[in-house]
Amino acid sequence: MSSSVKTAISLRQPLFDDVNDLANELNISRSKVFVLAVEDFLKKYENKKMLSKINEAFSDYPDEKEVETNTLLKSKQRKILEREQW
């Protein structure tokens, strides 16, 4: 089990009251509420970064020039294949 580190944070009173109410409702400590919230935030943040990287990897659509070149190459390849004896 990893060691714990204490930290102090400042909260607006209404937020503190909400955290306190939630801790009481869930029958856990306020610290545990913060740990769960930060873990959830970090997980969502990592997922967002991963999604961004995936989207970036798939955003490399061929531009007009590449499409034109590919079409020309396919046409030439088709003509070459049509002359081949199978």
User: Residue 57 half-sphere exposure, CB side, CA atoms within 13 Å?
Assistant: 6
Q: How far apart are CA 13 and CA 25, in angstroms?
A: 18
Query: Mind listing the pLDDT tens digit for each residue in 46-59?
Result: 999 999 999 988 88
Query: Whole-prediction pTM value?
Result: 0.64
- Write down the pLDDT at residue 1: 67
According to DSSP, residue 27 is labeled T
Please state the domain extents for the chain. Answer: 13-83
